[in-house]
Amino acid sequence: MNVRRSAAVLAAVAVFGSAVAPAAFADDAPSPSTALPSGLYGKSDPKFDGVFRQSYALLALDTADVRPAQKAVTWLTGQQCASGGFAAYRADASEPCNSKTPVDSNSTAAAVQALAALGDDKSQDKGQDKSLAETVDKGVAWLKSVQNQDGGWGYNPGLPSDANSTGIVVGALAAAGENPADVKSQKGRSAYDALPKLAMDCGKGDGAFGLADAKSGKLSPNADATAAGVLGSLGKGLVVTPGKKSAGGAPKCAKPDTASQAASNGTGFLLKLLGKHDDHLMSAMPGAKDQPDQGNTADAVVALAAAGQSEQAGKSAEWLAKNSAAWAKQSGPAAYAQLVFAARAAGMDPRDFGGADLVERLTAQGPPPEKGSASDSAADADSDEKKEDGGVSIWWIIGVGMVAGIGIGFLYSANRKKQQP
């Protein structure tokens, strides 16, 4: 299982103990025991990642000018609790959330980013646009309500702040039109106060953002946390375009006393790691097999592009184009979405990524898009051409060839009396 947002998950393990870890880090996602909703992307069990993978898929398709099926959007908005927060997955969304519903910052922030982007789509009708805006506003309000006093966010309400959770929440705030610097705790601290505290020094930590040890709570350098921390410190979300190229190559590491310096240090750390392994990252999960990590590499591409390191972002994106096909096919919609984000950030065409059309493959993971989208028009034209030649519809081929991705595994803590519904 490719575990995205692993630093946030392990931060939860540090608080709740290793006994809860196996569910999140299992090698294989269990098959769902009941039929999945027709609007959901992916075919694997959505228990740990339903909202997250749906949000990634919808956001990635939006960047490619594909208008997702309405039932896919409706499924996501229907997962929201009355409080505004999202859990990973609610099998019966008609049942109201309660104190035991494991709402979390990562699912909520991902949903906010996706729905904010869809709400900006000029092709949406006014009623739909208003509904999406209300959902986004409620999600932002919930995120503000669970902000820690240090200015950051933990995975679940009440958990210590971590770089991954804080980073993705910053992206959600920015996507919703908020200035993250203005979103402050009761003690007057913002995410830009919290993130430098989650960054390590230039000695043993090499300027990376840290992952808390499950036993001691001490930070250790982590590439996944660093990519998220860099994005958050720069005020960026999941969707970025290549930034202005920075001068002078790798930035010089210095004391991370500001968010901008922490981002600079983290950028240098990622450049150093990528240089060691032929432009890709190895698994950042403690105890994981020493193997290439396409997901973390894709995240690093986005972070480096946001930081102006377009040369290395391009090299790593090229590595992904050559080495990510099998991983994405196995991992499902969120993996394809990560590659779309990386391709966009590196200035590459996601419809011709190492010869693969990422948009088409992502589209095949869920319901066909709405009529009138760029993807749908192209598919119709191709279908007509196939029929004239005595062939079959491209959508029939895609349907038959649809793969079951294992999705993104996430750790959720239940029975937390203080958790907000």
Q: How high is the mean pLDDT in each 10-residue block of the chain (421 residues)? A: 49 47 40 81 96 98 97 98 98 95 98 95 58 96 98 97 98 98 98 98 94 87 97 97 73 96 98 96 76 97 97 97 97 98 98 98 96 54 36 27 30 36 47
State CA 397 to chain mean position distance.
29
Which pLDDT does position 176 carry in this prediction?
Answer: 98
Which pLDDT does position 372 carry in this prediction?
Answer: 56
Angle at 353 between CA 347 and CA 355, to 5 degrees: 145
Q: Which two tokens stand for residue 263?
A: 């981002």
Phi/psi at 270 (5° precision): -65, -40
Phi/psi at 292 (5° precision): -60, 145
| Cα–Cα distance measured from residue 339 to residue 225, given in angstroms and rounded to the nearest whole number | 18
β-strands 210-212, 219-221: how paired?
Answer: antiparallel
Q: Is 291 exposed, middle or buried (0-12, 13-18, 19+ CB in 10 A)?
A: exposed
Q: Which two tokens stand for residue 407?
A: 């999705």
Torsion of CA 214, 216, 222, 226, to 10 degrees: 100
Angle at 404 between CA 331 and CA 109, to 5 degrees: 50
For the entire predicted model, the pTM comes to: 0.84
Could you give the angle at which helices 259-276 and 310-323 cross, rounded to 10 degrees? 50
The one-letter amino acid at 161: S
Which pLDDT does position 405 carry in this prediction?
Answer: 30
Which pLDDT does position 24 carry in this prediction?
Answer: 39
Residue pair 71/39 in contact (Cβ under 8 Å)? The answer is yes
Which pLDDT does position 286 carry in this prediction?
Answer: 63
Which pLDDT does position 418 carry in this prediction?
Answer: 38
CB hemisphere CA count around 271 (13 angstroms): 20
Q: Which two tokens stand for residue 118?
A: 């869809």
32-43 pLDDT tens trace: 667 899 999 999
